[in-house]
């Protein structure tokens, strides 16, 4: 079983002896772990000797009216699952331990990438992610940290944070883990009713279809890809709406994690399609990489 710490000082003391000879990886989570999180731990173990999993439902990244109170908290079950993948330590602090003053007086601003997509629908969300992740990096001082690619924008923002604040660690991006029917695994999937769960895989299917259509676009000489993209996005939005989703956003961006713009000017372009859509009470996120030649 992993050893659980709730106090920063105790965790630091436990990690100290490892630092001379062993590398440490962090897997930050909000708990309610599923196979996607366990895969993050497996990946972390490939990169470091010791794996610390943090479990903390971070109040500063939830907006008013969001699901902070109802977010599932399942620490005992989480620790049992983490034993199956041989995680070494769990850090599960209280809110008071993480935030002696709440809201904290010091801010971490997530920068321009955060102004779009999820950041537009959830103002302040990525600043909250930024401060909690900074604190976790300072507390644990890992050599590497693993983040899931399902939260593509979050991953881009964390990479920026590491660059801008000179954290001496490697960020490892972990591929999306999906259910057999294609739905990206997420703790929030449990908000879906049985009938919504049947519909949910349509989201991934729609992104796959859109990726194929983007690859098939034929641009006239001197033409622009932008009107083609706009038309395909409109079609896909309509398809999702007809299937029962309320689309928050569906956009195509350049895939470079340090930019995420709509500056599609190269002959060969790596793009990412990003979607957030409500199905009942669940806000589902997904994305799909696509290369246009």
Q: Using the rule CB under 6 A, which residue among 24, 51, 61, 124 binds ligand PAF?
A: 61
| CA 37, 177, 230, 202 torsion-angle sign | negative
Q: Using the rule CB under 6 A, which residue among 2, 33, 52, 58 binds ligand PAF?
A: 58
| Selected catalytic residue, list 37, 125, 228, 239 | 37
Residue 134 beta carbon to ligand PAF: minimum distance, rounded to whole angstroms: 10
Residues 109-138 that bind ligand PAF (CB under 6 A): 129, 132-133
DSSP secondary structure code for residue 191 in this structure? G
Segment contacting ligand PAF (CB under 6 A): 22-30, 214-222, 259-267, 275-283? 22-30
Does residue 287 bind ligand PAF (CB under 6 A)?
Answer: no
Does residue 30 bind ligand PAF (CB under 6 A)?
Answer: yes
Does residue 60 bind ligand PAF (CB under 6 A)?
Answer: no
Residue 13 beta carbon to ligand PAF: minimum distance, rounded to whole angstroms: 23
Does residue 29 bind ligand PAF (CB under 6 A)?
Answer: yes
For residue 146, the surrounding DSSP H or E stretch is strand 144-148
Q: Which of 284, 264, 276, 155 is nearest to 214 (CA)?
A: 264
- Of the pair 125, 197, the CB lying nearest ligand PAF is at 125
Structure tokens given for 181 = 């029917």
Report whether 143 belongs to an annotated binding site. Answer: no
Does residue 151 bind ligand PAF (CB under 6 A)?
Answer: yes
Provide φ and ψ at 80, rounded to 5°. Answer: -60, -45
**What length is written for the chain?**
293
In the residue annotation, 37 being an active-site residue is answered as yes
Q: In 221-293, where do the E strands start and end?
A: 246-254, 269-279, 282-292
Provide φ and ψ at 230, rounded to 5°. Answer: -60, -40
- Of the pair 154, 287, the CB lying nearest ligand PAF is at 154
Residue 60 beta carbon to ligand PAF: minimum distance, rounded to whole angstroms: 9
78-108 as b/e: b if 16+ CB within 10 A: bbebbeebebbbbbbbeeebbbeeeeeeeeb
- Provide the binding-site residues for ligand PAF, judged by CB under 6 A: 28-30, 58, 61, 129, 132-133, 151, 154
Please identify every residue annotated as catalytic: 37
């Amino acid at each position: 079983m992993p050893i659980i710490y709730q106090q920063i000082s105790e965790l630091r003391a436990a990690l100290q002896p490892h630092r001379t000879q062993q590398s440490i990886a962090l897997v930050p989570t909000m708990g309610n772990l599923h196979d996607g999180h366990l895969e993050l731990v497996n990946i972390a173990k490939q990169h470091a000797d010791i794996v610390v999993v943090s479990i903390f439902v971070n109040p500063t990244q939830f907006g008013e009216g969001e699901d902070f109170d109802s977010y599932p908290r399942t620490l005992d079950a989480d620790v049992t699952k983490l034993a199956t993948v041989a995680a070494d330590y769990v850090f599960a602090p209280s809110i008071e331990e993480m935030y002696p003053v709440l809201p904290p007086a010091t801010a971490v601003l997530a920068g321009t990438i955060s102004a779009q997509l999820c950041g537009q629908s959830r103002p302040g969300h990525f600043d909250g992610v930024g401060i909690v992740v900074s604190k976790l990096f300072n507390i644990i001082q890992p050599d590497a940290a693993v983040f899931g690619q399902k939260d593509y924008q979050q991953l881009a923002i964390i990479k920026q944070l590491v660059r801008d604040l000179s954290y001496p660690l490697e960020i490892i991006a972990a591929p999306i883990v999906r259910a057999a029917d294609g739905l990206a695994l997420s703790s929030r999937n449990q908000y879906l009713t049985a009938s919504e769960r049947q519909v949910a895989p349509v989201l991934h299917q729609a992104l796959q279809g859109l990726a194929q259509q983007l690859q098939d676009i034929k641009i006239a000489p001197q033409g622009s890809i932008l009107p083609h993209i706009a038309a395909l996005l409109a079609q896909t939005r309509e398809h999702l709406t007809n299937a029962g989703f309320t689309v928050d956003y569906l956009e195509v961006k350049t895939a470079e994690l340090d930019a995420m713009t709509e500056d599609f000017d190269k002959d060969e372009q790596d793009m990412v399609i990003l979607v957030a859509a409500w199905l009942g009470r669940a806000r589902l996120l997904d994305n799909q990489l696509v290369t246009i030649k």
